Amino acid sequence: MKKLNSTLMSALIIFSLLTSCTEDEPQIKITSFSFNTASVEVVEGTSVNLNDHLTIEGEDAGKAEVVFSSSNEEIVTVDGLTLSAIGVGEAVITATETNTDQSATIEVTVIAANVAVTGVSLDQESIELVIGGTQQLTATIAPENASEKGLIWSVEFPSTGKKNEDDPTLIATVSEEGLVTAISPGEVNVVVKTKDGDFTASTNVVVSGIPVTGVTLDSETADLKVGGTLQLVATIVPESATEKGLSWSVDFPSESKIGEVAPTDIATVSETGLVTAISAGNIVVTATTTDGNHTASVHITITNVAVTSITLDQSNVSVNIGETIQMSATIAPENATNKNITWAMGLVPVDPFGQARTEISAPVATNYATIDENGLITGVSECTSCGLIVTATSEDGSIEAFTSVKVLYVPVTSITLAPSSFTVNAGETQQMTPTILPVNASNKNISWTIETSSANCRTAISAPTYATVDENGLVTGQIDPGCYDLTVVATSADGPTGSTDFDVVQLVTGLTINTAAGGPVTGDLQLNYCLSGTYQLGITVSPGNASNDTVSWSVEDDSVVTIDGTGKLTYNTALPDGTYTTQIMAAANDGSGIATTITVVLTKDCAG
């Protein structure tokens, strides 16, 4: 590989001129001819040695003849091997090896030298704007060819006009391009600052507004009903006024103030001028401009809306004893001021259903049905032709509406008890739950009894006390009835009954293991045997009338002794002589969980 230098270049050119006239041009062998980079960046006013970027390889690399050319000599020029950057822009340098016609190119980008900013100015020293107006300011940076032309725009108060903590952008704003927009009356400075060097220039901006000269309302007088509304519309003069803010207020006319009542008890007005009538009276609504305190008022007279009719949602009402029916009244007109009504239950001389009225001495309507302040009717006692009537009366004008009422008696048709059958332990209880039909029966009171039958017994027992039941249907077991059948019975005042068969069980409360002689085992049971033998244990069950007096026997170690279901012990004769201990347990079979144990000590001594 060979790099070309200026001395070599000159020698090659001279040699070529001298020999071209005397002999044939020799064949040059160059295998590679290229720039070692595709592009290069050069600062304007500087130069580059192209020899640093050109690579020539081959047997005759030293004989290479190279010519350079520039695609734009206003940007870069080449003198020998020196490239000079004379302007900002881009150009392509082409290198040609004349013997082989090989060529290579390199892109050259010339960038401007860093030129510092020396100052900035604005095209206007001061401007005047009205609210909403705009003005474009133009900034000029010096020198014109400064490298960094970035600007920062801001708004500030003049040094003599700062307003405590106020924001100057509430008066005017400026965009990133220098467009000033007037917001509200006042004075500010728009300041531009260069990013390079922090040079500044400013323009004084004065913003003025259009004052309000008056205000009018779309009405001078108005009439409203209680609950009604009226939207007032205010017109500010002139239409182009800057500040169009309004405040609204309610007051009494000077000639009609009402004691301690506030005017807002008569009507209210919203921030948008919507008047709402609350009660009857006269008021004045006033609109006041924020700019100049100009006012306009409207006199409003408010009257009540009277009730004209009441309609009940039901007629010829029938209600069962103990049940309720909700009455509802519709007031007309819908916007009536006072919609309160009172409800009453009364008797009329003639049956409303067209039947002869039952004569009742000193009748009282509430003996048959009541109605509360909300119109809820409750049936009390039967009244199918006693002339019962409901009256709804308005507080406003005593408008009335009527409907007739019957109170019906609903008899019980059936009683079903749950559980349908059961067993109760002596001394314990079982709660019975009756289901009475129909569910709206008027009288759901029932009486409870226990009944017995001696059909399966040889002899009858008078008034046996095997179980009791209280007025709430709680059954308590007393004594196992043996062969007697027990039934709990619920009887309605209307006649129908319901019943459930049950049994009383006497549980075991104690067990005692007895010896073969019949006495209770006290302490350890000592037994001695040799070759063979058994031993019979006995059992005493408490109480003596336990419904199930059977027990189950078990032994702790059946390699010593076994026990059968009757309590008979059988010894293990295969054991060697010695003493063995185990435990015997008897457990009640009636589910009471009662059990007892004894310790048995067995001695086998066949040698003695």
Domain 6-111, architecture per CATH: Sandwich (2.60)
- Name the average pLDDT for the chain: 86
Check residues 602 and 163 and name the one with the higher pLDDT: 602
Q: Using one digit for the tens of pLDDT, what is the confidence trace for 556-583? A: 999 999 999 999 999 988 888 899 999 9
Predicted confidence (pLDDT) at residue 386 exceeds the cutoff of 80: no
Domain ranges (residues) in the chain: 6-111, 119-208, 214-303, 309-408, 414-505, 510-604
Q: How confident is the model at residue 12 (pLDDT cuts 50, 70, 90)?
A: very low
Topology of the domain comprising 214-303? Immunoglobulin-like (2.60.40)
Per the CB < 8 A criterion, the answer to whether 520 and 513 are in contact is yes
Distance (Å, whole) CA 590 – CA 549: 8
What average pLDDT does the segment 317-342 reach?
Answer: 90
**What would the CATH number be for the domain defined by 414-505?**
2.60.40.60
Per the CB < 8 A criterion, the answer to whether 327 and 370 are in contact is no
Equal fold, 214-303 vs 414-505: yes
Distance (Å, whole) CA 31 – CA 10: 22
Predicted confidence (pLDDT) at residue 455 exceeds the cutoff of 50: yes
- Give the DSSP H/E element, type plus range, for residue 253: none
**pLDDT for position 579:** 92
Distance (Å, whole) CA 68 – CA 71: 10
Q: Using one digit for the tens of pLDDT, what is the confidence trace for 461-490? A: 544 678 999 999 999 998 888 777 899 999
Query: Helix, strand, or coil here: 433?
Result: strand
Per the CB < 8 A criterion, the answer to whether 251 and 306 are in contact is no
Domain 309-408, architecture per CATH: Sandwich (2.60)
What average pLDDT does the segment 242-265 reach?
Answer: 84
Per the CB < 8 A criterion, the answer to whether 475 and 488 are in contact is yes
Predicted confidence (pLDDT) at residue 320 exceeds the cutoff of 60: yes
Question: Of all residues in the chain, what percent carry a pLDDT higher than 70?
Answer: 89
Predicted confidence (pLDDT) at residue 34 exceeds the cutoff of 90: yes
**pLDDT for position 234:** 96
What average pLDDT does the segment 340-363 reach?
Answer: 63
What average pLDDT does the segment 36-53 reach?
Answer: 89
Predicted confidence (pLDDT) at residue 360 exceeds the cutoff of 60: no
**pLDDT for position 151:** 95
Tokens coding 459 = 């002899």
Predicted confidence (pLDDT) at residue 354 exceeds the cutoff of 80: no
Helices (H), 256-321: none
**pLDDT for position 59:** 87
Distance (Å, whole) CA 207 – CA 128: 6
Looking up tokens 């408490």 gives 542
Q: What is the 3-state secondary structure (H, E, C) of 177-205?
A: CCEEEECCCEEEEEEEEECCCCCEEEEEE
What's CA 103's distance to the chain center, in Å? 77
Per the CB < 8 A criterion, the answer to whether 154 and 122 are in contact is no
Other C-beta atoms closer than 10 Å to the C-beta of 312 total: 17
**pLDDT for position 2:** 40
Q: Per DSSP, what are the bridge partners of residue 444?
A: none
**What would the CATH number be for the domain defined by 510-604?**
2.60.40.60
Strands 126-130 and 200-208 come out as parallel
Per the CB < 8 A criterion, the answer to whether 58 and 31 are in contact is yes
**pLDDT for position 165:** 59
**pLDDT for position 77:** 94
Topology of the domain comprising 119-208? Immunoglobulin-like (2.60.40)
Tokens coding 526 = 């000592």
Q: Using one digit for the tens of pLDDT, what is the confidence trace for 75-95? A: 999 998 999 999 889 999 999
Predicted confidence (pLDDT) at residue 542 exceeds the cutoff of 60: yes
Q: Using one digit for the tens of pLDDT, what is the confidence trace for 147-164? A: 788 999 999 999 876 655
Rg of the Cα atoms in the chain:
61
Q: Per DSSP, what are the bridge partners of residue 288?
A: 247, 295
Distance (Å, whole) CA 535 – CA 555: 14
pTM: 0.43
